[in-house]
Structure 1
Amino acid sequence: MSNDFREWIAALVTPREGSSGPRPEELRASDADRERVISVLTDAMADGRLSRLEHEERIDAAYKARTLGDLIGLTRDLLPPDQQPIALHSRPVAAVFRNESRGGRWVVPSTVPVSSIGGKVDLDLRDALLQSRRIVVQLAVVAGTVNMTVPEGVRVVVAPGARVTQFKDHTRPPADPDCPVIELAGYVWGGRVIAKSPKPPKKGWRR
């Protein structure tokens, strides 16, 4: 299946209106975000991609970074886009007779267009940064599957008017009624959407 056709399918569910709130690159960086970038920089110096001076300069810039936008430029020339420690892309997720996944540390925009035409989409939100407390997953699924791994404390609901009949919610109910919400909109024909919570960590053996 050609890239042009996949892009056309994805465009069907891409929101036309602009999203409110700060842009992903304007969001504040956390200490964990800085450490992710520093780890990549350290590996790059170890294998010769960065000189010691370049490494020191970029490490200093990482510690001084205030926003995610300040961090992403420090590793852009070291790794391909799908291996970057922080992903700020806003392109739709489209699986047309293939498998597509999105995970790691990525900024989830307020509306996420997801299309699956005879394919499978895996959305891993465990390390993701939600741009707002209400995320709309705009679905266009025909004979496809969408698997979502949702962090603890986030609720998944079906939007009013959405044609999402095959939805299996295996997430653990949040204790906070005012928790962030992921809303499933759009349609699912001949396919399914599955939401699940992360597996709890294994308990070690006790003597």
Structure 2
Amino acid sequence: MSTESKWLSAVSAFLAPRAPDAPGAAELRASDADRERVIKVLADAVTDGRLTPPEHEERVERAYAARTLGELAALTTDLLPPESQPFNMDGRPVTAFFRTESRAGRWVVPSQVPVTSLGGRVTMDLCEALLQSRRVVVQLAVMAGTVTLIVPEGVRIVTAPSARVGSLRNEVRLPPGATGYGPDAPVIELAGFVFGGKVIARSPRRPRKGLFRRP
């Protein structure tokens, strides 16, 4: 890790509020969808010879019996590189020093996410993410950088009273037919500071409806 990256990580860690005791990503309960993601990877691995049929059968049994994400993750660590794993449990701060950094897919989002950008671009896509808390604090340390948050419709974007966010563009939509936020709507709270940069929050594009659709 370069000196600049170490410095950025240190700034993020210093600025981030201390999280209350909470289960780690590996301790979170796995869903049926998480198990199916892992089983698909195992199926591909036995097809191309990375696993033998007995190994595949044994791992599939373990996948169905797994209760936590950590138990599932152990089944694919030797089959795919970190960036291609069925889900990402990397809880490190997000840093971008004159470069582009992104988090997307099925990743575990802690209750506090330190984000540091110096002249860089950070994109965090939470549409398939697993939130450890219904309220996620994004602790910003941004100078001349851009942070883009892509979140599902109906997620509330708020700014902490002590935050210094010079430019915020909130384009997050409500779900079709909704007139306001639900009482249990997830909240993304922006804290920290943004100097000479901007934060963009938006919903993903809705799929286009074709001209000819079957009933």
Provide the C-alpha distance between the structure 1 equivalents of 2:3 and 2:42, rounded to a whole number of angstroms.
35
- What is the CA-CA distance between 1:202 and the residue it aligns to? 2.2
Cα offset, 1:26, TM superposition: 1.4
2:201 partner amino acid: A
1:123 aligned partner: 124
TM-score by length of 1: 0.94
> Which letter maps to 1:186?
G
Whether the 8 Å CA contact 1:29–1:68 is kept in 2: the answer is yes
Q: Which residue in 2 is equivalent to 1:194? A: 200
Corresponding residue of 1:71: 72
Q: Which residue pairs with 1:136 in the alignment? A: 137
Alignment of 1:23-172 (within 5 A): 23-172=24-173
Q: 1:82-102 deviations in whole A, cap 9, x for unaligned? A: 111111111011010100000
- CA drift of 1:153 comes to 2.7
Please identify runs of 4+ aligned residues in structure 1 that moved more than 6 A. Answer: none
Task: Note if contact 2:19-2:112 (Cα within 8 Å) is conserved in structure 1.
Answer: no
Report the CA distance between 1:16 and its aligned residue: 6.2
CA distance in 1, matches of 2:126, 2:201: 11
Residues 167 and 123 of structure 1, relative CA distance in 2, 3 Å threshold: same
Q: Deviations over 1:56-107 (max 9, x none)?
A: 1111111111111110100011111111111111101101010000011111
Q: Which amino acid in 1 is paired with 2:213?
A: R
Instruction: Name stretches of at least 5 consecutive residues in structure 1 with no aligned partner.
Output: none
Aligned to 1:9: 8
Task: After TM superposition, give the deviation of residue 110 of structure 1 in Å.
Answer: 0.5
CA distance in structure 2 between the partners assigned to 1:18 and 1:115 by the alignment: 18
**Partner SS state of residue 123, structure 1:** strand
Number of residue pairs the alignment of both structures matches: 206
8 Å CA contact retained: 1:19, 1:110: no
What percent of counterpart residues are identical?
60
Deviations 1:34-64 (A, max 9, x none): 1111111111111111111111111111111
Task: Give me the TM-score of the superposition, normalised by structure 2.
Answer: 0.91
Q: Which residue of 2 aligns with 1:176?
A: 182
